């Protein structure tokens, strides 16, 4: 067994049902999977996709018959592609058994084809090469679009016309950004759907592939103690926090066109929010889960300008080192107002969450790197331990549940506890599940899980087009206002905790950031 949960068997059953929508037979003995990484010469392909494919191969998770193709404009031989890939391949756990042997075997299955992105000729030559490798087996084909978004439609048009599988399935993994507002996202969806059925489109949000995010539903729905508390009756606020301790280094050109709200909030944090807040799905099937996520997103209020704070990092000198401002990046236009930090208060207008602020905070070049979900509970009503006769507060704090997505994956619950001894002193303590202590073995990278799901036809962790529409509807009006009014971001020093405005925003809702 490859260690995949039992559950995936039922996912596979779902995945193989509709041939008309681009699905085909399962990978039995007579089938093969060809994975084409379009944009193979690029950053994401090198950093994430090829290493994830190798990790899957190493763990024996890939089908027996598979081939990997790189496709890009750069001229490269198969051997040059292999050299390029080998520079970033690592065995997830240092010095694993047979690692170099496995690497060699993996690289032998990797090939390259150079072509233009809008060229049917290029993809039909690829098709010919793929057929050679597929050698008469039922061909299943997965294309990973690891290219700038303005090329998505060109590639889908050319590849779907000339390099689709005739007898098996053909799927396309599409990377973000999916447009920059409701309009452009809708336009992208319509263009993709000219050539593909929705079932063939796998819109990736790699945060959904992270271990702790996958665990969110398990925590809620398979433990009696959490779900009954999961509502406005017991939860005061929920915080979704993303911070990085580095700037846009090298990606300023892309980033300036998007900003942190589109880069992190509208997708990664909102997806977590939807999973966190959805009602119990009918089953674990992809469509049942995605139906519930859409309902939450459609119940959300459009974000208002007064509920947003934006910031941008400025240069800073510390300990003899100088850190650049965002606008020092040569690929960023002078005077750019693009936010590298944002905080926002969002609301879900349904019976479960009415009035509960969902606070998001996302920023680059902050003092630390972390991603967390923090759930702050209400205070205990009539708490016996609230006061001593002298009037000193005894209960230190309300309970807080923290899911640390990264780094050092953990789930901990802050509780009030008696400090041992003859007196009566309370202490805020933690019930702590630290993954590195509880579980052996390394946690797979999000891209590994998502690539495997796409190969298996499991769509649960990919974004459906109606989810995407609902997500953009929440953020588009405020983005338009911020940009239309040229709202100046509050500057914060590189490596700091971000603009003070974020604290005022939280204070408006009687909340303190965790
Ligand atoms: P790159 O900028 O590295 O582009 C990938 C490849 O596309 C390049 O190697 C180049 O290949 C080709 N390319 C780049 N610019 C152009 C252009 N203007 N015209 C034609 N071809 C071009 O992108 P990334 O690898 O960083 O990202 C790929 C996708 O993944 C993007 O959609 C990005 O938003 C998304 N993404 C990236 C992340 C990252 O960490 N890098 C993180 C999350 C999402 P060649 O010249 O050989 O054809
Ligand atoms: C990407 C963003 O989607 O996620 C980047 O475009 C960001 O700006 C990255 O750095 C963070 O991902 P991770 O997995 O490193 O937290």
In the chain, what is the greatest distance between 2 CA atoms, to the nearest angstrom?
85
How confident is the model over 134-165, as pLDDT tens digits?
Answer: 988 899 999 999 999 999 999 999 999 999 99
Please indicate whether residue 319 or residue 376 has the higher confidence score (pLDDT). 376
pLDDT class of 469 with cuts at 50, 70, 90: very high
**Mean pLDDT for all residues in the chain:** 91
Tell me the C-alpha distance between 403 and 240, whole Å. Answer: 10
Distance 147 CA to ligand 1 centre (A): 4
Q: Which atom of ligand 2 is nearest to the CA of 267?
A: 3
Is the pLDDT at 25 greater than 80? The verdict is: no
User: Which ligand sits nearest to residue 265's alpha carbon?
Assistant: 2
**Each residue of 160-212: pLDDT tens digit?**
999 999 999 999 999 999 999 999 999 999 999 999 999 999 999 999 999 99
Pick the ligand that lies closest to the CA of residue 446: 2
268 is catalytic: yes
Task: In whole angstroms, give the CA distance from residue 255 to residue 434.
Answer: 34
* pLDDT tens digits for range 28-53: 458 999 999 999 999 999 999 999 99
Extract the runs of DSSP E, i.e. beta strands, from 244-338: 308-314, 316-318, 321-323
Instruction: Map 96-147 to HEC letters.
Output: CCCHHHHHHHHHHCEEEEECCCCCHHHHHHHHHHHHHHHCCCEEEEEEEECC
User: 3-class SS at 456?
Assistant: helix
- Does the predicted interface ipTM exceed a cut of 0.95? yes
Q: What is the mean pLDDT of residues 370-375?
A: 98
Strand pairing report for 308-314 and 341-346: antiparallel
- What is d(CA 26, CA 354) in angstroms, rounded to the nearest whole number? 44
Shortest-distance atom of ligand 2 to CA 369: 16
pLDDT greater than 70 at residue 248: yes
Q: Tell me what the mean pLDDT of segment 484-493 comes to.
A: 97
Protein residue with least CA distance to atom 40, ligand 1: 44
Atom of ligand 1 nearest to the CA of 44: 25
| Chain position carrying tokens 């233009």 | 116
Vertex 215, ends 396 and 441: CA angle to 5°? 100
Of 365, 376, 293, 344, nearest in space to 481 by CA? 344
Indicate which residue of 65, 268, 367, 503 is catalytic: 268
pLDDT > 70? residue 389: no
CA 354 to ligand 2 centroid distance, Å: 31
Asked if pLDDT for residue 1 goes beyond 60, the answer is no
| Upstream peptide bond of 177 is cis (omega within 30 degrees of 0) | yes
Q: Are 156 and 192 in contact (CB under 8 A)?
A: yes
Residue nearest to atom 2 of ligand 2 (CA): 263
Q: Does the pLDDT at position 100 exceed 50? A: yes
**Ligand index nearest the alpha carbon of residue 70:** 1
pLDDT of residue 73: 97
Q: What ligand 2 atom has the least distance to the C-alpha of 242? A: 16
263 close to ligand 2 (CB < 6 Angstrom): yes
Stronger pLDDT, 93 or 351, i.e. the higher one: 351
The ligand 1 site (C-beta within 6 Å) comprises 39, 41-45, 72-74, 146-149, 151, 175-177, 254
For position 20, what pLDDT does the model report? 34
Q: Please name which of 469, 489, 506, 498 lies closest in space to residue 183, comparing C-alpha atoms.
A: 469
Residue 310: its pLDDT value, please?
Answer: 98
Is the model's pLDDT at 16 over the cut of 90? Answer: no
Digit-coded pLDDT (tens) for 309-340: 999 999 999 888 999 999 999 999 999 999 99
Percentage above 90 pLDDT, the chain: 83
Between the CA of 191 and the centroid of ligand 1 the distance, in Å, is 20
């Amino acid at each position: 067994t490859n260690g995949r949960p039992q559950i995936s068997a039922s996912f596979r059953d779902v995945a193989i049902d509709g041939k008309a929508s681009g699905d085909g037979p399962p990978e039995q003995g007579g089938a093969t999977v060809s994975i084409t990484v379009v944009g193979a010469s690029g950053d994401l392909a090198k950093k994430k996709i090829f290493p994830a494919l190798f990790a899957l191969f190493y763990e024996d998770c890939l089908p027996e018959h598979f081939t990997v193709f790189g496709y890009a404009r750069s001229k490269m031989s198969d051997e040059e592609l292999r050299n390029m890939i080998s520079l970033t391949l690592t065995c997830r756990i240092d010095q694993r058994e047979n690692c170099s042997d496995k690497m060699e075997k993996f690289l032998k299955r990797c090939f390259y084809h150079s072509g233009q992105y809008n060229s049917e000729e290029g993809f039909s030559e690829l098709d010919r090469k793929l057929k050679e490798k597929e050698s008469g087996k039922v061909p299943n084909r997965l294309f990973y679009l690891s290219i700038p978004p303005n090329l998505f439609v060109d590639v889908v048009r050319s590849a779907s016309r000339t390099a689709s599988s005739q007898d098996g399935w053909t799927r396309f993994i599409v990377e973000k950004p999916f447009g920059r507002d409701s309009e452009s996202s809708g336009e992208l969806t319509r263009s993709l759907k000219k050539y593909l059925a929705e079932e063939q489109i796998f819109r990736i949000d790699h945060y959904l592939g992270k271990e702790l995010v996958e665990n969110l539903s398990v925590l809620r729905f398979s433990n009696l103690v959490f779900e009954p508390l999961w509502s406005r009756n017991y939860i005061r606020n929920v915080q979704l926090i993303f911070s990085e301790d580095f700037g846009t280094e090298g990606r300023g050109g892309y980033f300036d066109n998007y900003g942190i709200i589109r880069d992190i909030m509208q997708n990664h944090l909102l997806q977590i929010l939807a999973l966190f807040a959805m009602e119990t799905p009918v089953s674990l099937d992809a469509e049942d889960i995605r139906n519930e996520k859409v309902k939450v997103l459609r119940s959300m209020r459009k974000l208002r300008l007064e509920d947003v704070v934006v910031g941008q990092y400025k240069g800073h000198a510390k300990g003899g080192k100088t850190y650049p401002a965002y606008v020092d990046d040569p690929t960023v236009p002078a005077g750019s107002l693009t936010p590298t930090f944002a905080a926002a208060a969002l609301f879900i207008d349904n019976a479960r969450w009415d009035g509960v602020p969902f606070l998001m905070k996302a920023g680059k070049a902050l003092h630390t790197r972390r991603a967390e979900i923090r759930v702050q509970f209400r205070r205990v009503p009539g708490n016996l331990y609230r006061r001593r006769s002298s009037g000193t507060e005894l209960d230190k704090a309300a309970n807080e549940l923290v899911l640390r997505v990264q780094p050092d994956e953990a789930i901990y619950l802050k509780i009030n506890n008696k400090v041992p001894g003859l007196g009566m002193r309370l202490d805020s303590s933690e019930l702590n599940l630290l993954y590195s202590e509880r579980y052996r073995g390394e946690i797979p990278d999000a891209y590994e899980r998502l690539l495997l799901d796409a190969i298996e036809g499991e769509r649960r962790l990919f974004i459906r087009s109606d989810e995407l529409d609902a997500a953009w509807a929440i953020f588009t009006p405020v983005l338009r206002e911020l940009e239309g009014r040229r709202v100046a971001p509050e500057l914060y020093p590189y490596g700091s905790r971000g603009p003070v405005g974020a604290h005022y925003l939280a204070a408006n809702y009687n909340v303190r950031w965790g």
